[in-house]
Amino acid sequence: MSKDPFEAPPGTDTADCASKSTCGMAGKDGSGCASCSSRSGAANPFAKQDASIADTLGHIKNILFVMSGKGGVGKSSVAVNVAAALAVGGSKVGILDVDMHGPSVPNLLGLGFGLEMDEAGERLQPAEYLPNLHVISMDSLLQDKNTAILWRGPKKTAAIRQFLSDVQWGDLDFLVIDSPPGTGDEHLTILKTIPQAMSVMVTTPQEISLADVRKALNFLQHARGRILGIVENMSGLACPHCGKDIPLFKSGGGKDLAEQYHVPFLGAIALDPVTVLAADAGTPVVLMEEDSVAKRDFLALAAAVAEACAKDAAVLLPPPDEQG
Ligand SMILES: Nc1ncnc2c1ncn2[C@@H]1O[C@H](COP(=O)(O)OP(=O)(O)OP(=O)(O)O)[C@@H](O)[C@H]1O
Ligand SMILES: [Mg+2]
Ligand SMILES: [Zn+2]
């Protein structure tokens, strides 16, 4: 990469941002801050980068933004398995991991190598997992995997924008974005920079996770982000002996929530020990040779995601104040 990937563009510190009280949300004027991609052309120091991002996005058919209210509910597992399943089905797929504090995509894929420039020496080449599955993660740019990244919002925003402007993604059917838990700077940046991104909300069946998903849905309402649907992960336990369902936690909460918000329910993934084995082996469950409940569930989820994209089924929830 010609520029330092860790360097925020000048003026991107929100301390310098003239409109820091209003910027960050779609539809508001946020001139002067890098989080705000819709500034007027003349005084826009990021016009070139904006153009480069627009060019990248113009070559990507569907952008899936995997998010959740709570941490540890299976976002990264869903992102990696859906991406791998779509790739195995013949689609050209990219994975962008914007979880800078705990990037787990490289581990789930067993990727340990660095990144290279493209032939023109202008853009970064994403790591290749399969010929039609490429990956970019903050992790790939770090020399020492154990280094904690201590970044404030503006620098994260700058890095995420560079992942779109300075990476040679090429033509993609799907870009799957894995995110950190909650609704922070990374989420705002993605929704602001990629208004066409479709959120895939991952939850576990328990109320403690569902409550946080409601908050995340509320965030999407405010930020005017589209949602493709809800996924219930860790939905029942697949018995390691006979594969039968053990309702260890409750199940059905994700589906109920989807109905309540009138958003598609994309599928349920059982709690399955094979998921943990797969993670440790650095192989997505869907690429494991042996059959398993989680493998079937993830394949069905990927099919549902592809179908929802083909039908353009993503929903824009009404703003919170207009909801009945
Ligand atoms: N269906 C499942 N069955 C069994 N284990 C699972 C399942 N889904 C995820 N896990 C395990 O749960 C842990 C958390 O999953 P994962 O890292 O995908 O969650 P996450 O939401 O991305 O977490 P974070 O919020 O930290 O980014 C991992 O150890 C993963 O292997
Ligand atoms: Mg994760
Ligand atoms: Zn059993």
Pick from 73, 75, 77 the residue to mutate for probing ligand 1's pocket: most ligand atoms within 8 Å of its CB.
77
State both tokens at 84: 């791998």
**In whole angstroms, what is the distance from residue 3 CA to residue 46 CA?**
14
Pick from 76, 202, 251 the residue to mutate for probing ligand 1's pocket: most ligand atoms within 8 Å of its CB.
76
Distances (CA, A) of 30 to 7, 14, 36, 201: 21, 11, 5, 27
pLDDT tens string, the chain, 324 residues long: the values are 444 333 444 334 433 333 333 333 333 333 344 444 444 446 788 899 999 999 999 999 999 999 998 999 999 999 999 999 999 999 999 999 998 877 789 889 988 767 788 888 888 999 999 999 999 987 777 666 666 667 778 888 999 999 999 999 999 999 999 999 999 999 999 999 999 999 999 999 988 888 999 999 999 999 999 999 999 999 988 777 887 788 777 778 899 999 999 999 999 999 998 999 999 999 999 999 999 999 999 999 999 999 999 999 999 998 887 654
Question: Comparing C-alpha atoms, which of 321, 320, 270 is closest to residue 299?
Answer: 270
For residue 115, what pLDDT is reported? 76
Q: Are 235 and 300 in contact (CB under 8 A)?
A: no
**In whole angstroms, what is the distance from residue 240 CA to residue 248 CA?**
13
Q: Are 103 and 185 in contact (CB under 8 A)?
A: no
Half-sphere exposure of 92 (CA within 13 A, CB side): 8
**In whole angstroms, what is the distance from residue 238 CA to residue 206 CA?**
17
Pocket of ligand 1 (CB under 6 A): 68, 71-77, 99, 102, 104, 180-181, 233-234, 269, 271-272, 275-276, 279, 294
For residue 207, what pLDDT is reported? 85
Question: Comparing C-alpha atoms, which of 59, 12, 63 is closest to residue 39?
Answer: 12
